[in-house]
Amino acid sequence: MRTSTLTEFHSQGTEYRDIGKSRVPWHFGDFEAEYHAIRTSSALFDHTAIGLTRISGNVTPILQHVLARDVEYLTPERCMMTLMLGEDGRPIDLMTVYSFDDHVLLESSYGRQDAAREHLATHAGGDVEITKLDDWGMLGIEGPYSWGALGRVLDPAITALPYESVLELDVYGNPIVFSRSGFTGEYGYKVIGPNSVIADLWKGLRTEATPAGQRALEAAMLEVRQPVLHRDATDSADVVACGIQWLVDPSKTDFVGRDKVMAELSDTASGRLLGLSWAGAEVPSGADVVAGETVIGRLVVTEYSPGLARSLGLAMVDRELAAAGLTFDLRIGGISVEAISLSSPYVVPASWSTPIL
């Protein structure tokens, strides 16, 4: 189990949850305050339980083979998000790839780092070295004013980097990786480095930004339909059904799982994930989605959105009914609630209309 290296700095009452083989801070005591920090100011995330892997040597051939997007032209000091798939086309990991002159850094999703490394090792040749960076961690800071909070602790000039840019910097005499990227649709930044440096940065940044847990992060991600594998990728949902085929490059002619994904793209019978919103009673996952008196799907994700002051969910429904603006009923155990289907983003990030000054 990979756990946070910052627990001694967390507030009393912090709740933790396990996601696969990672234990993460779920909330620090006030979910709604943490959420509103993401959408209105700046939120600080402890991602130190995320798995980080360094690959050096002849990295391009193996990454071209095991990743679903083309990395051949990913230039140094850039990053991108992509999928690692199994032979069956199911996601092994959703990861961010950071490119440098002499190596590549891989950031795994929570709890998936071991499976990703095993898959890499299976396909690696003798000219590639795979290293677990267990003594490194990652922080995230996101929100419409995250650039100000970060700039007051680090160099304000780096906050205006283009999206998906990456820098190697020295902080407190130690190397770190800095990128402009995130999860919520707001301005976002990640800082990756040795655990001791990450701890010092956490102590500095928590005075400028509100520590926020995974629950607030996942609620904000749901609002902009950013994928969360442990939540969205159910046993019955393939890449296309989950709506994450945008992380696959169909023009790429050879990668593990490609044939399965291409077959899914032409499959007109499988279901699709559809965003729903409703007011009133809480409805648990597993509820039937009903059109008229016909069950056309099942609710697989549910979360309260403070931004909408309504519940949000994802339902796997018949493909022909996976459209916005429709009204359904959610029914389970005597509960019946009217829900409306939505197109994403369900909440427009404030950063889209907030300049970096």
Q: What is the DSSP string of 216-245?
A: HHHHHHHHTT---HHHH--TT--TTTTT-G
pLDDT of 154 above 90 = yes
d(CA 228, CA 213): 15
Domain at 257, CATH number: 2.40.30.110
Same domain, 233 and 334: yes
Last residue within a domain, chosen from 203, 223, 243: 223
Q: Is residue 91 part of a domain?
A: no
Count the helices and strands in the chain (H runs, E runs): 8, 20
Domain boundary among 158, 188, 223: 223
pLDDT value of position 234: 66
What is the tally of structural domains in the chain?
A: 2
Question: Average pLDDT, stretch 55-70?
Answer: 95
Residue 113 binned pLDDT confidence (cut-offs 50, 70, 90): very high
pLDDT band at 243 (very low <50, low <70, confident <90, very high): confident
- Is the residue at 109 inside a domain? no
Q: Is the pLDDT of residue 196 over 70?
A: yes
Same domain? 214 vs 242? no
pLDDT, one tens digit per residue, over 287-340 is: 999 999 999 999 999 999 999 999 999 999 998 889 999 999 999 998 999 999
- Cβ 136 vs Cβ 192: under 8 Å: yes
179 pLDDT band (50/70/90 cuts)? Answer: very high
Q: What is the mean pLDDT of the chain?
A: 93
Q: What is the rounded CA–CA span in Å between residue 56 and residue 36?
A: 40
Average pLDDT over residues 144-148: 98
**Structure tokens belonging to residue 342:** 């939505």
- The answer on pLDDT for 235 being more than 70 is no
Average pLDDT over residues 38-63: 96
User: E-strand spans in the chain?
Assistant: 2-3, 15-19, 22-27, 43-46, 52-57, 78-85, 91-99, 103-107, 128-132, 136-142, 166-171, 174-179, 188-194, 210-212, 272-278, 288-291, 294-305, 310-317, 327-332, 335-342
Same domain as 251, residue 202: no
Q: Answer whether residue 336 is part of any domain.
A: yes
Per-residue model confidence (pLDDT) at position 237: 64
Cα torsion angle, 5, 10, 12, 14, sign:
negative
Is there a domain that residue 176 lies in? yes
Compute the distance between CA of residue 120 and CA of residue 130 in angstroms, rounded to an integer.
Answer: 8
Q: Which of 147, 187, 146, 144 is nearest to 164 (CA)?
A: 187
Please report, rounded to a whole number, the percentage of residues in the chain having pLDDT higher than 90: 83
pLDDT for residue 225? 94
Indicate if 321 and 181 belong to the same structural domain.
no
Task: Check residue 310 and give its pLDDT.
Answer: 96
Residue pair 153/141 in contact (Cβ under 8 Å)? The answer is no
Last-in-domain residue among 223, 249, 270: 223
Phi and psi at residue 162, to the nearest 5° = -60, 155
pLDDT > 70? residue 211: yes
Residue 280 has pLDDT above 70, yes or no: yes
Amino acid letter at 292?
A: G
Does residue 194 have a pLDDT over 80?
Answer: yes
Q: Give the tokens for residue 32.
A: 């709604």
> Range of 10's domain?
2-51+134-223
Q: pTM for the whole thing? A: 0.94
Model confidence at 78: pLDDT above 70: yes
Asked if pLDDT for residue 343 goes beyond 90, the answer is: yes
Query: Same structural domain for residues 250 and 267?
Result: yes
Tell me the backbone φ, ψ of residue 121, rounded to 5 degrees: -65, -35
Contact 138, 198 (CB under 8 A): yes
Of 45-54, 189-198, 227-236, 318-327, minimum mean pLDDT range: 227-236
